[in-house]
Structure 1
Amino acid sequence: MSALLLVSGGAMAQTVPVKPLSSPIVIAHRGASGLRPEHTIASYTLAIEQGADFIEPDLVLTKDDVFVARHENDITGTTDVAKHPEFAARRTTKVIDGETHTGWFTEDFTLAELKTLRAIERLPKVRPDNAKYDGQFEVPTLAEVIALAKKHSVGGRVVGIYPETKHPTYFASIGHPMEARLVAQLNAAGWSKPSDPVFIQSFEVNNLKQLHGMTGLRLIQLMDAAGAPADKAAPSYAAMATPDGLKAVAAYAYGIGPNKDMIQRGDAAPSTLVADAHAAGLRLHPWTFRAENLFLPPSLRVGTDPVARGKLAEEITRFLNLGIDGFFTDFAYIGVDARNAQRAKAKGQ
């Protein structure tokens, strides 16, 4: 591919050639979250052991402005906070990105208080084996995730991190802006350049544009199959995924992270998103590839039990053959095997 790529960096974009799309990256979605409770050191460690190239922490802030890894700032369904009587009075109702949530929220806890909680499985009915680990693992900090990645970056192997800023506009509105804190922490870890093993992702737009002026790290614009960015910086994700919309995204981002349905929904014919994004100089890292029948297209399900595992490797291979540049999966070992098999097949042709 000969197109030039706009790489976020400082106040001005840098142009570098897009590298050949021969080695798609495997991104461990919240760690090995198909096998361990998500966003725990145990989950991230298992994903690394399974060969993931990147581990993905979703980032929210504590009351004392420490980044921790949780899917949401609402920790009701991912920790045992409800079993802690000392925190019962902190249960509250908030409006976040236009939606009402009732529960417990990270911004109302100090890090020391969060460390007294333990993680629980978010999808216990889908992943009952994960629920067996409830109560065993702490809520990790970004610092601990960085340390884990660096610990395993040995012998020529590099393990990267792929953090997502969660609800950045909301956090800024309550006096906890994320951008400068995140850049400072990543700089302190020695990561600031496009070549460093870090991607920063967000569903919001202005958050990424602000980061574009602050760091040279690669930025990924997340997109869902419906709806629009919470910061209302674009009319819809669908508009952002058009050729003109993708050109606009390329002015501040390295790539996009679309819902996989935007590329191919179930067993339907694929869209033109891969070709359109590549034409704009963007990489594509779709989400999320899961092994349970519930999340697979009908042709790849095994049996009728919605939580039984189907043919995930075949689904991943479908998308690799469409030309994606990486993918998020809850089952890193299946993703690594599928990627390696597809790469070996391509070399043998």
Structure 2
Amino acid sequence: MGEPLRIGVVGLGKISGAYLSTLGHLPGVQVTALADLDPARAAVAVQHAPGARACGVDELLTADDVDLVLNLTIPAAHAEVATTALRAGKHVYGEKPFALDLAQARAVLAAADGLRVGCAPDTVLGTGVQTARKAVADGLIGVPTAANATFTSPGHESWHPDPEFYYRPGGGPLFDMGPYYLTALVHLLGPVERVVAAAGRARTTRTIGSGARAGTEFAVEVDTHVSGVLVHTGGAITTLTTSFEVVASTQPRIEIHGTEGSLSVPDPNRFDGDVALRPRGADSWTVLAPSAGYVGAARGIGVLDLAVNHAAGRPHRASAEVAVHVLDVMETLLAAAHQRSGLQVSTSCERPAPVPLDAAADGESARLTDAPS
């Protein structure tokens, strides 16, 4: 790959630790700078990124030793930070959601001007979703006809010390966890062309349950339960539920059903997990051996995928195109719910290339044996 892609990280909240742990073990990338609106966070984070320095946000976005800005800020800042970095000539990889709305997303893309733009989730590049994708592509369930995808939780305020942003625009169960499920569904079944939906919220306030601010009440500004039906361009129909209103559930995360069988897909918020197949006529499920995907992947593998494919002149997989389509699907679901009607999704995307199990044979470092699991 030649010289490593030099990375500056903006936003050093809870998720940054997972990224720094992974990136420190990956070939082809090097963390050089760290910045946060709270300088103390940056000073602490450099201990987990040998060779990196702490600096101000504005300095990092224009630094000569930063090729790519890893944007781990809160959702409300995603578009602004990305646009500023792109205008400074930096590639950008950001946390989900890509932006708060489609208008912001298009402004980011307009600023790219040939630069690479990537976006989480990259969990779909692991052996879990990729093995399921290969099973579908190999015809193990026949023609895909339907899917169900379910994320349920009582909400994040019980464990997160500063949970307010989960309940503001850009948050809620759909925008927080929906990208994992919808991105997986795009990889498995292709883009979405139209939706119907319903949404609501049971409470107007929530209370922080842990940390120094335990007992603090805050306002709920978004829908906390969203259910929708998605029609994929290939004809399959997905039933999607995302909720911060469910105390407990035994529902599977994702199932894909076809003319010749059904497939159980592991949690799309993880990189691995069991993929189980039940063909027509079988009386039990069979767990499939991993057959595709980056082995041993963790948060940040999408950055490596971008770096490797940028060097090779190929499209990277955790792409802005997919992220913008997922954002559009989420925005359209909420609009359909509030309008009480079915709506067309205005964007589409190409399904990213599948990840072979031994991608190293194609010039990609897939077997990350030194990376944390």
Under a length normalisation based on structure 1, what TM-score does the superposition of the two structures give? Answer: 0.31
Under a length normalisation based on structure 2, what TM-score does the superposition of the two structures give? Answer: 0.29
More strand by share: 2
